[in-house]
Amino acid sequence: MKKRKTKKTKKRLKLIFKIFCLLIALGIALFASAILYIKMSPRLEIKSANAFLMYDKEEELFFQGSGSQEWVSLENISQNVIDATINTEDKHFYEHFGFDPLRILKALYINIISGKTKQGASTITQQYAKNLFLDFDKTWERKLNEMWLTLKLEVGYSKAEILEGYLNTINYGHGMYGIQNASHFYFDKDAKDLTLAEATMLVGIPKSPSNYSPLVNYDIAKKRQVNILYGLYKNKKITEEEYNQAVEEPLNIVGEKNYQDLSTIMYYQDAVMRELRELKEIPDSYLETGGIRIYTNLDQNAQKILEDSVKKNLTTEKDLQVASIMMDPKTGKIIALVGGKDYSVSQYNRAYQSKRQVGSAMKPLLYYAALENGFTSSTTFTSEETTFTFSNNKTYSPQNYGGQYGNKPISLATAISYSDNIYAVKTHMFLGEDTLVDISRRLGITSQLDAVPSLPLGTASINMIEMVQAYAAFANEGTKVEGHFISKVEDLRGNILYEKKISNNTILNKSLTFILSDLLTTTYDSTFIDYNYPTAIGIAPKMKHKLALKSGTTDTDHWSIGYNPEIVTAVWIGYDDNTFLGANDYKYSRNIWVEAMEGYLEGKENTWYKQPNNVVGVLVNPITGKPATENDEKKRIMYYVRGTEPTATDPVFDEILENTKVAS
């Protein structure tokens, strides 16, 4: 029996061994076939591969991505940089064929033992392959493409050429790709002239540019530099004396003078790259055909005005964040974007990656729908504490900000001026809860919207680009446009790969958008000062142009969105962790908004919308909405579709509202 078991065991072991040998042979054959195929294929043009050249609306180059702005040969790069890079990133660079098996096994062991991804195993060739890709999605397809490109690099190029390409494309932070650009930015010198101390400071940055840049946190960057120097000393690349001298050497980082100028424009560049990835017209092969030119809608003057307004207003609020977009409402071109206060600190782009509660910025959508359903600027509901009762005795008791109620009928114009929540919910319930969802979808909002009583008060979380597109339809007199960053994409030979076609789709009534736009000027109009104040009255002295404006306020978010025929601007402020806003925090979005709008419009004609032929202006008491009499101290011209002008006997809608009761 034992002999039979022994024989069976030996047969199994032989079979396993044969299978193992067969797999190894198959692997070798596949590897050899891959190498042969690569050798027969054209070489990658690494000096232009993935060269993302971005141009602004004036076709001025403002950014060049992984294909560096100035390619320098290995002979013109300091040996200090070369030694520190290899010793830090890939000690066996000259010994492996693109992959380091021992390093991979070590990383797997450490990560399994710790239960976390503590150590990577990418070689310099693999990292260079990543630099030649458009995105860094962690998918199996992405990883396989990276492995294939790594092999193509190793087969097609010498180690010196690979190292040269790597050093010319790596990200050294603050938009600086390539060692020559980084050398000029941080130390105002050529890469060949970098000292050991300067070189090791730069070599430490690519692992995490947002953390190891000396302009972000010098102390953390210094610790990493010292670790890199110690590694060189430990591996006998430098002497103890050189180590000590480099550690003690004071560094004169001149990039500080350029630092502020680069703090937010990278957000725009990221948004461009995101849109580029979504364009089906761009073939995958462009990665291997010499790069692309991207013609964007960036208006550098508008971008600077927006950035300056952010910096001026958010100087001391360390954790308070901001996002803003400026769009041309006629075309949908996004001409400026701020995705956060400082890109070097946080690359999270709040302008397109986040969704936040929009508060009362949702109300203009509701009120346009109300105008479509027979409301006018003078339609009245009573502003008073109200509890809404529904089926199964469920109740909803919205509150006005600051507990301000007129306890009397107020016009739609007044409700917008004060951002009266009671009026908004009464309108919402009167029209039906699906109405606001329907108009939002028509305006291009795709975020989750629930048909609930609180929807007009902005309890839904919506992306900023969606909100700007919706307001752009109002600004464009009812014609919907699609927000976009890219106007055209070409390869480096000038062949057009993609060109944006502006599609205009009229979805709203021009007469009603004219009326709504005028209603949104009440938010800063002193004529409406009565038992309450217009929500934006504080910035009225800063306004030199006629502008439509609505703010949105929740415990954690504050929005200001407004427009004229030339520009739509949205500003959001809040905390990433949803910390409640302080009493003084709410002012920032309005101030940033008005300064950006007025800065952009400075020197431009004060344009407004032409009054449609079927719209008439009537002098009314702005609070009651009734035709003005000699006894009225406050009077304002409001606009109406001909035939819907107010009379002194118009009813208050409360008289016909159902399912509503006044709170005791």
Q: Residues 627-660: pLDDT tens digits?
A: 999 999 999 999 999 999 999 999 888 876 654 4
Lowest mean pLDDT across 164-168, 376-380, 436-440, 481-485: 164-168
- Domain end position, chosen among 262, 293, 325: 262
- Domain end position, chosen among 223, 238, 262: 262
Into how many domains does the chain fold? 2
Distance of CA 402 to the CA centre of its chain: 33
Residues of the chain above pLDDT 70, percent:
84
What are the residue numbers of the active site? 89, 360
Q: Residues 330-359: pLDDT tens digits?
A: 999 999 999 999 876 788 999 999 999 999
Q: Is the pLDDT of residue 134 over 50?
A: no
**What is the full DSSP assignment across 564-580?**
-SS-EEEEEEE-TT-PP
Q: What's the pLDDT score for residue 171?
A: 84
pLDDT interval class at 94 (50, 70, 90): confident
Residue 427 lies in a domain: yes
Provide the terminal-to-terminal Cα distance of the chain, rounded to the nearest Å: 94
Q: Is the pLDDT of residue 46 over 70?
A: no
Residue 621 lies in a domain: yes
Q: What's the pLDDT score for residue 4?
A: 58
Lowest mean pLDDT across 316-330, 337-351, 430-444: 337-351
Q: Is the pLDDT of residue 24 over 50?
A: yes
Whether residues 461 and 609 share a domain: the answer is yes
Whether residues 383 and 234 share a domain: the answer is no
Whether residues 354 and 251 share a domain: the answer is no
The CATH number of the domain holding residue 485 is 3.40.710.10
Residue 422 lies in a domain: yes
Q: What's the pLDDT score for residue 217?
A: 87
Average of per-residue pLDDT values in the chain: 87
Lowest mean pLDDT across 79-88, 186-195, 387-396: 387-396
Q: Is the pLDDT of residue 137 over 50?
A: no
Whether residues 353 and 254 share a domain: the answer is no
Whether residues 115 and 238 share a domain: the answer is yes
Residue 3 lies in a domain: no
Q: Which domain holds residue 96?
A: 73-262
Residue 552 lies in a domain: yes
Whether residues 368 and 258 share a domain: the answer is no
Vertex 48: Cα angle to 42 and 54 (nearest 5): 140
Q: What's the pLDDT score for residue 33?
A: 65
- Domain end position, chosen among 262, 287, 303: 262
The CATH number of the domain holding residue 83 is 1.10.3810.10
Average pLDDT over residues 113-142: 63
Residue 596 lies in a domain: yes
Q: What's the pLDDT score for residue 661?
A: 47
pLDDT interval class at 156 (50, 70, 90): confident
Give the Cα separation of 124 and 86 in Å (integer). 8
Question: Beta 52-55 vs 292-296: how paired, if at all?
Answer: parallel
Q: Residues 613-622: pLDDT tens digits?
A: 999 999 999 9
The residue among 100 and 348 whose pLDDT is bigger is: 348
Give the Cα separation of 355 and 656 in Å (integer). 37
The residue among 543 and 254 whose pLDDT is bigger is: 543
Whether residues 251 and 358 share a domain: the answer is no
Average pLDDT over residues 161-190: 87
Whether residues 224 and 361 share a domain: the answer is no
Give the Cα separation of 603 and 452 in Å (integer). 45
Residue 16 lies in a domain: no
Vertex 97: Cα angle to 93 and 100 (nearest 5): 65
Residue 30 lies in a domain: no
Which H or E element spans position 491?
strand 486-491
- Selection from 152, 169, 85 nearest residue 123 by Cα: 85
pLDDT interval class at 118 (50, 70, 90): very low
Give the Cα separation of 25 and 9 in Å (integer). 24
Q: What's the pLDDT score for residue 64?
A: 64
pLDDT interval class at 261 (50, 70, 90): low
Q: What is the pTM of this model?
A: 0.74
Q: What's the pLDDT score for residue 437?
A: 97
